[in-house]
Amino acid sequence: MGTLHFSRRNLPHIQHEYSVHFITFCTRHRELLSSEARDIVLDSCLYGHGVEVHIYAAVVMPDHVHLVLQTLIDQNGCEFSISEILKAIKGASAHRINKALNRKGSLWQEESFDHVIRKSEDVNAKMAYVLQNPVRKGLVQRARDYRWVWTADPDFMSNFLIGNRN
């Protein structure tokens, strides 16, 4: 059985070793992100992909972000920390957005929602949920048309989201 890491701020945060996690974090006061800001956020989310974390799917919505991810192992055999990865994403994106938009102050809520995904079929379901979020919110007709949606598996969108529908 893998190691379980637990932390708490206002919400409990559980990192189950070698597991896939579903993460959501929101802008402070549900502030809407501009197109430029969303570009920066997606870039920040993908920065550590393949090094510290494997991102299965990501979407940057106008006021929140969804990620399906699994932390990787460092050169010492230790798993990277989800809390440190999220801190880096939020910190880097807020800094770059504040600089680009000539603004100051906090951008993100301190807390995030995280959920351990327990089965592989649930990973596909969470990926579909993340990738279809812009469609459900009426921002686009097809997920692949949303500029701020990303998946590590380029075939997932066509095979799973479209190919399995009759």
- CATH code of the domain covering residue 131: 3.30.70.1290
Tokens of 64: 């929140």
Spacing of C-alpha 51 from chain mean position: 15
Tens digit of pLDDT for each residue in 52-65? 999 999 999 999 99
Q: How far is CA 69 from CA 54, 129, 145, in A?
A: 6, 14, 22
**Nearest in space to 61 (alpha carbons), one of 84, 29, 34, 80:** 34
How many structural domains compose the chain?
1
Assess whether pLDDT exceeds 80 at residue 17: no
The pLDDT, as a whole number, for residue 14 is: 64
Tens digit of pLDDT for each residue in 66-103? 999 999 999 999 999 999 999 999 999 999 999 999 99
Note down the domain range covering 123.
Answer: 4-162
Rounded to whole angstroms, the maximal C-alpha distance in the chain is 49
Tokens of 150: 């990303």
